[in-house]
Amino acid sequence: MRAGNRARKVMLDQAARLLLILGGVTMCIPFAWMVTTSLKDDRDLIQNMSRWMVTLPQRTAESTVGLDYIFFTTDAFSEVVAEDFESEDPGWRAEGAGAARSTLAEGLSAGRREAAQARANRGALAFTLRSSEGDTVTAGRIFEPPLAVPEWNGIHFWLDGDSSGSKLTLTVETDRGTFTTGRPWTVNFGDWRELSTTVREEDRLGGMPVLYGAGALGAPVDVPLSQPFGVEVRSIAFTLHRVPYPVALWERLTDNYRQVWESIPLGLYYWNTLLVASVVAVGQVATSSLAGYAFARLRFPGRDVIFYCYLATMMIPGHVTMIPRFIIINKAHLYDTFAALVIPGLSSTFGTFLMRQFFMTLPRELEDAAIIDGCNRLGVYARIMLPLSKPALATLGVMSFIGAWQMFLWALISTNSVSLRVLQVGLASMRGDLSGKYNLVMAGSIIALLPAVIIFASAQKAFKEGIVLTGLKG
């Protein structure tokens, strides 16, 4: 009988443990989906939205890409077509070890050739890079006479990639000098895609490469900012360069993260958020520890009534007090300032309750001994109570930091300047080509999530100890 009870107890324990493990795994599924979505490219996002599949670079003996419809864009929102590949021999030549050129998509595979012809119903240029014969191939043409492009601001073209992770560089020779992409494209896609460049830094969007110029003697070409910039194009060339597979794999997995980082001033948003969260965390630790010590140790008329009335404010939703807070900030002429972000968060009702509960667990004999030795109340607080309350302070600090790091609504309505945007508001402000790309949204969310996870993990021991000790005594 006892053996049967023991076996039943073991089975129940194992079943409870399995249930807890399943619960933990279930809680990790949304985060895992977020990570895999952040690694998907645009094709994966459209075709495999509900799947966990991520397309990785495919390394083959030959790397073939298709090129079609190259045109220059102008400040007047017009197009100057450089090549449409409608003629049998448009004048393009391929150079480099193992180079091969073909028109009418003959160099593409059957499936990609059908996609090319279905998209445009006309020719396309295909050039091939053979790994056994070289790592670079260039396809280009010379314009005779030169192609006039008034008010030039960028170049657009269609490329059919092969998911090889190769690098593609564009070079344009003009009467104003030779321009080339400061950062190449990574061919981490296997379908037709429109790629674009710009000649001005302020026009860059969505990680668009910028064309930088160098004159005959290596001097930079002076590109006027926000002014008409006309050129005569003499030649254009595309260079495909093979990179080692580990490099191609790393760049494929980090492509969305780099695109988010380059599309918005994420470094500025990170600094603003770090500064706001640090000041709020320090402020809450200071004010809550002082208030908690006063409610726990000092005796004054109405102490408990004041504390419970103060504690009752936790029942009021923050959205109810948001409008009065905004009016006060506006009347104090603090709207759109750093002070508007941090001042409302410098005190915390929950933090005061947490510190009071912890201080009440400490023995009064320590204070009495310090007072007998001549220490005043402030000295007791600073020299006795604070050193003993490190777990509770760490708990409050971590919770305050994470809460301020995730600030969104108050930061959105209390500031308007881009220079004061915090990370959550900055990620929500992604617009244009990035607004509907959930892979970029998930990548930005993970970038914003990492610091909070690191801080919580590093302070986990003190956090758990503070939570346990706070509830020992009421």
Question: pTM value?
Answer: 0.70
Q: Is the CB of residue 298 less than 8 Å from the CB of residue 290?
A: no
What is the phi-psi region of residue 166: left when phi exceeds 0, alpha when psi lies from -120 to 50, beta otherwise? beta
Phi/psi zone of residue 96: left (φ > 0), alpha (ψ -120 to 50 degrees), beta? left
* Token pair recorded at residue 153: 């601001």
Q: What is the pLDDT of residue 472?
A: 45
Distance CA 373, CA 388 (A): 19
> Who's near 36: CB < 8 A, 6+ residues apart?
52, 54
Give the count of beta carbons closer than 10 Å to the beta carbon of residue 391: 20
- What's the CA angle centered on 105, arms 100 and 107, to 5 degrees? 35
Residues of the chain under the 50 pLDDT cut: 97, 103-113, 115-121, 216-219, 471-474
Backbone angles phi, psi at 346, to 5 degrees: -80, -10
How is domain 62-244 classified at the architecture level of CATH? Sandwich (2.60)
Instruction: Pick the closest to residue 474 from 281, 311, 301 (CA basis).
Output: 311
Dihedral in degrees, nearest 10, Cα atoms 32, 35, 39, 45: 70
- Residue 108 near residue 66 (C-beta atoms within 8 A): yes
* Fold type of domain 266-470: MetI-like fold (1.10.3720)
pLDDT of residue 280: 93
Element (DSSP H or E) covering residue 204: none
Concatenate the DSSP letters of all residues of 2-36 into one string. HHHHHHHHHHHHHHHHHHHHHHHHHHHHHHHHHHH
Q: What is the pLDDT of residue 120?
A: 41
* pLDDT for residue 97: 46
Domain ranges of the chain: 2-38, 62-244, 266-470
349-359 vs 460-470: helix crossing angle, rounded to 10: 70
Task: Please answer whether residues 139 and 93 qualify as being in contact, where contact means their C-beta atoms are separated by less than 8 angstroms.
Answer: yes
Structure tokens at 451: 């610091």
Note the pLDDT of residue 434: 58
pLDDT at 376: 82
Which residue type is seen at 114? E
Which of 50, 199, 64 has its CA nearest to residue 128? 64
CB 67 within 8 A of CB 126: yes
**CA–CA distance, 287 with 278 (Å, rounded to integer):** 14
Alpha-carbon dihedral sign for residues 436, 437, 440, 443: positive
Residue 194 CA from chain centroid, whole number: 23
| Residues present in the chain in total | 474
pLDDT tens digit sequence for 91-140: 777 776 455 555 444 444 444 445 444 444 356 777 777 665 557 888 88
Q: Which residues of 173-210 are buried (b: 16+ CB within 10 A; e: fewer)?
A: bbebbbbbbeebbbbbbbbbbebbbbbbeebeebbbbb
